[in-house]
Structures are given as C-alpha cells and as structure tokens.
A = this chain, B = another copy of it.
Amino acid sequence: MTVDEAPSTTRNDKATPAAPSTGRLQPLGLREVSLRPGFWQQRQETNRVASLEHIEQWLERAGWLGNFDAAVEGRLPGARRGREFSDTEVYKLLEAMAWEYGRTGDTALDRRYRAVVRRVAAAQEPDGYLNTNFGRPGQAPRYSDLEWGHELYSFGHLIQAGVARARTAGPDELFRVAVRAADHVCAAFGPDGIASVCGHPEIEPALAELYRVTGERRYLDQARLFVERRGHRVLADIEFGRAYFQDDVPVREAEVLRGHAVRATYLAAGAVDVAVETGDTELLDAVTRQWRTTVARRTYLTGGMGSRHQDEAFGDDFMLPPDRAYSETCAAIGSVMLSWRLLLAHGDPAYADLIERTLFNVIATSPADDGRGFFYTNTLHQRTPGTEPAPDALLPRAASSLRAPWFAVSCCPTNLARTYASLAAYLATVDDDGLQIHQYAAATIRTTRYGCEITTGYPDEGRITVRITETPESPWTLSLRVPSWAAGATLDGRPVSPGWARVHRRFHPGDVVVLDLPVQPRITAPDPRIDAIRGCVAVERGPIVLCAESVDLPPGVDLNALRVLPHAEERDGVVVVAGRTVQPQASGWPYGPASESVVSGPLDVPLRPYHRWARRGPSTMRVWLPLAGGRTDP
C-alpha cells in the first residue's frame, strides 16, 4: 500500500471551490460553514447518500468509467462507450466525492473515490495526455477537432477534481495526474504550441485554480493565453456560428454573454479568475459589464440562462420564451460560478441576489426528491404533460419533460453533485471588517475569527436569526444581504433597504441579530420588451418563483385557458391567485377579427414553488400567467 492508498487523515478547513488570492471578499472553507437541517441541508444530504451512488452506478453501467479500463487494456476504440466528453462525468463525480469527503470525512466514500482514481490514473499516457476518445490507432488524432472534441474541456474537469482533492485532503494520485495533464496542456498549447482554444471553455478556470493551489505561474499564464486567444476566430466556423463557443469577439471586447450558455458562463468565470490574479481591471470590467447586460436582458425569472434548444444558447436580448426555455441546469451552475467570482471580486450583493435566485429556482428544481433523477432543461411553461422516462433509459438530453435518471449527454447530474457537495462555500465570506452572510440557511459558521449559528426556516419563513458564538474582542461588522426583492425588511426591528444591512459593533458570544425578510406573495410583471410573456404576471414569494400546475386544478380545467387577476394571497400556507378560464370560439384558422371567448369562473388557483413542479407525475405548468383582461403596457 502506498501512502496515497492510505485513508486520508488531514482535511483542510479552508478548502473551497474558488480561492482567489485577492478581491473584495474572501471565501470561507467547506468546514468553516456547515449546513444544519433545513432546505439546503436536506438536498445536500440526498446528494451525498443517493446521487453520488446513483451517478457512480450509471457511469459503470453506461460504460463511461469502463472506458478508462479499456484504454489500459488496449480495447479502444472498439470498446468505447458514450459521447466524446464522457470522461468528464467521471471527473465531476471525483470532484463531488472530493468535496464531500472534505466536508464529512466519510471513509467509505474516500475508498470509493480512490478506487475510481486508480482506474483513471492508469489510463494516463506517459506525456500526461489523458482522454479515452482520441489519439489511439483507429481514433481521431489528438487535437484534430478542437471545435467539438472537448479534450481541453475534459482536462479542465480533471484538473478541477484534482484541485478539489488537493484542497480538501492534500495532493494525491489524482492531483498528480491533473498536474501532469496540466503540464502537457501548457506544453501543447503554450506560446510555442497550438495557437488555439477548446470549443468548450473549462480549462481556463481549472488552470487558474491549479495556479492558486500550486503557485506555479505557468498555469495562470496558460489560462490567460486561452482567454486572450478566444474571440479571434481561431476555431472553425460552424453551423451555429462562432458565437456558439464565444470565438466571435474577444472576451475583453464583448458586451454581453452569448452563444452556448454553459460555454459562455464557464469562460467568463475563467476570465474573472485570470483578471483577478493578474490585476487586469480592463478584463474584469469587461466581464462585469457582460454580467450586467446578461442579467438585465437575457436571464429568466428563475435565474435560468439560455433560451434556445437548437444550440443551447442565449437568444437575442429579451428573447426569453417560457415554453421553449432551455435554461440548462449546467448553465445555472456556470452562472453561480461566475456570479460567485464577481461577488468575491466586487463585494456587490447583486451577485448574491442572482445566486440565490438561481439556487432556489434552477439548482433546487433539477434533482428528483430521491436524488436519482434530474432535469437537464428547466422550462417555465409545460404545455402538454410529459411522459415518465423509463428507469433504465438513457434519455436524449433535452427530452426530459419529467426528471430522468440519466442522459446520453449527462453533464447535469454530475455538475449538480459537485455543486451540492460544495454548496456551503457560497453562504458567507469575510473581509478585513468582518463577516458577510450572502445566502440564508440554517448553518453554523466558524472561522478563525468569527463564529455564529444561523437559525431560519428560510425560504418558507423570512426570519433569519444570527447568534454570535465566537467573536474577537474588537468591534467588527456583521453584514447581512437584504435581497433586492425584500422591500420592507427589518434588522432587529429597524427598516433596512435592499443591499447590505450592516451591524458594526463590539459583539459578545450569545449576541443575537434578527433579520426579517418579507415573504408574502408578490406580483411580478415582465419588462415590456420581453415579447413572449406580454400580458402575463408571475407570482413570487421571497426568493421562490411560484407556478401553477395542472395537478392542482379542478378536473377539466385547462391550465392554458387560465387567466388571473394580479393579486395573490396566502391561505393556510398556500399561495392562491384568483382566476377564470376562457374558451376561444372554435375556428379552423387561429387568426381573424378579435372574437369573444366564453369565460368561466371564478376559480382559485393554488400556486406552488416552481422547484416543486413535476414531482406529482406528468402535468402541465406555467410560471407566467396571462392576466384576465389585463392591459399589456401603456
């Protein structure tokens, strides 16, 4: 048994997914913030006890893990299974396991992690290259298809997994595999190497994190090189255009995120990493501007990004159809990665606002309650009830009208797994003045300077109680984010405005600070430039987007015939909106002089959290509800 095979004994309290060396705020480690029972802890626990195993089983069953064994045994390409990027699902599982072990110290999980690592490591080639889909006789040569081959994307996820392990438990076999891979990438794509980039960004943030772990400048330089090269048409044109992989405009010149939404957010996250580490304010400003414009014009109410199925891409400004929302789960994760980095860099709570919205309305929506099914896309309007996927089916990615166990392109389950495992990292930060709490959940925070217990029934309830458990002698600032939707919030009974609610004073253990956020239902109207939801409203409650679902309607009532009044109220814990149904005159042609519809009703329609939809079997669903006789805009 080598040292690597012994159970890990050291676990680093400060391990965290993104660790910039500078910035307005400093992240906390996964063992500095612990979730306690509540909304997020329940989901993190389901991820730990069910999703990780489910994913590992599917990776075996689908043969994607076996591809590494086949590589070692010389059975490729004949024995290869899965898409060209299937290796990355193994790496994302390893990353999830690394975070989870770092958090819990679960030795059984650690053994499973090591067993997978051994199979991966065995397939690495002497020069550091590692990919089960390229380079062998009968396979396409290495780097022969940068547009679609995903080789650097794959290295990116390998490196992220190695970084997660190095941070949580110290450098191990996987970390060394990752370093060898990174060294190979630097040699192959360095200043004297292939002057191009990968069709799918991911290597950029990965190399930046490897620099942060190792202090080796060459990884940062290579990340910067990849960021700078992109946008100069170094990749071939494709059917979707070069905007698909952000090779249309250089990162520092672009005005908005565009193209494939996962690619766009990963690249932007990597660009922030590079900008922060190199002090490149122009680059940081560029990504900051792109984030602002994207949030103002290209983001769904749920925080979801990407309105096109065809190329999994952002649409034009204000092109946000609810019924063909793509809103890929992975794009939401990319959005959180990006917003988190900008939050650390700037300290602006607007980034945490979007993270909250995205967590509660996309990342909480995707997994099934049992952790063994997932939404790949997250539509805001389901017109016809979906069909239950077969439990053993490998679904096409976008066909999941109900949560499905696995996909031919199965990026989302593993991406969720690593996100849930590291979720606590996004709750709070510190700076020289004190502690900032960004996301509200029952949790314990214990840093080298501060300690507190957060008690809350959020998001069902709006009260957040922070009890100080450890504190320096000197005064410091406790900063609590007041979400932008929370007009009327109070801190210890005094009104506070959205933004930061700050308490600066000398604290004592046992001190309590109470933030009250108003979580009564509220009516939300869309910007009139969003054509697809003109004349509609949505109902939100705290950070939660609500929806109407057909299973809550009386028999025979068609959800798509529903019209509502712009008023919602809560009755016995259920938000209800008053509505009626309209039945258009039957016609063979759906256009003509405006005709009267037969109006039925009135009708009380219960609304449920969007993240709960499609958990009671096939149904139709709407987030945006047409107004009864409502005016569209002035």
Contact = CB atoms under 8 A, between A and B. Distances in A.
A383 interface: yes
A261 interface: no
A524 interface: yes
A109 interface: no
Interface in A568-626: 582, 584, 587-597, 599, 626
Contact of A527 (B396, B484, B584, B596): B584
B630 A631 contact: yes
A296 B534 contact: no
A308 B323 CA distance: 11
A398 B309 CA distance: 14
A534 B319 contact: no
Contacts of A630: 631-632
B534 A582 contact: no
A217 to B, nearest CB: 36
A525 B584 contact: no
A322 B315 CA distance: 14
Nearest to A632: B535
Given A296-B587, A593-B523, A628-B634, A324 B324 contact: yes
A547 to B, nearest CB: 14
- Max chain B Cβ within 10 angstroms of own Cβ: one of A295, A524, A589, A633: A633
Nearest to A319: B323
A324 B599 CA distance: 31
Given A317-B383, A534-B534, A626 B634 contact: no
A191 interface: no
Interface in A231-268: 238-241
Interface in A499-555: 522-536, 538
Contact of A526 (B396, B408, B591): B591
Interface residues of A, number: 74
B383 A319 contact: yes
Contact of A396 (B239, B399, B536): B239
Contact of A534 (B321, B522, B596, B626): B626
Contacts of A525: 591-595
B629 A629 contact: no
Contacts of A599: 634
Contacts of A477: none
Given A584-B529, A628-B634, A241 B396 contact: yes
A292 interface: yes
A301 interface: yes
A633 B528 contact: no
A563 interface: yes
A522 B593 CA distance: 8
A318 interface: yes
A526 B590 contact: yes
A560 interface: yes
B529 A561 contact: yes
- Max chain B Cβ within 10 angstroms of own Cβ: one of A397, A561, A592: A592
A629 B626 CA distance: 15
A316 interface: yes
* Copies per assembly: 2
Contacts of A530: 590
A297 B384 CA distance: 14
A524 B591 CA distance: 6
B632 A295 contact: no
A620 to B, nearest CB: 10
Contacts of A296: 587-590
Contacts of A596: 634
A14 interface: no
Given A292-B588, A536-B534, A241 B524 contact: no
A381 interface: yes
A350 interface: yes
Nearest to A561: B529
Nearest to A357: B589
A10 interface: no
A531 B592 contact: no
Nearest to A326: B310
A177 to B, nearest CB: 33
Contact of A589 (B295, B309, B383, B523): B295
A442 interface: no
A627 interface: yes
Contacts of A308: 309-310, 324
Given A239-B408, A309-B309, A529-B561, A633 B590 contact: no
B527 A591 contact: yes
Nearest to A309: B310
In the A-B complex, the 6 residue pairs with the smallest Cβ-Cβ separation, listed nearest first, are: A527-B590, A535-B632, A525-B594, A239-B396, A309-B310, A310-B310
Given A316-B383, A323-B531, A630-B632, 6 more contacts: A316-B384, A532-B532, A534-B626, A626-B632, A626-B633, A628-B634
6 contacts: A239-B397, A522-B593, A534-B534, A534-B535, A563-B634, A629-B632
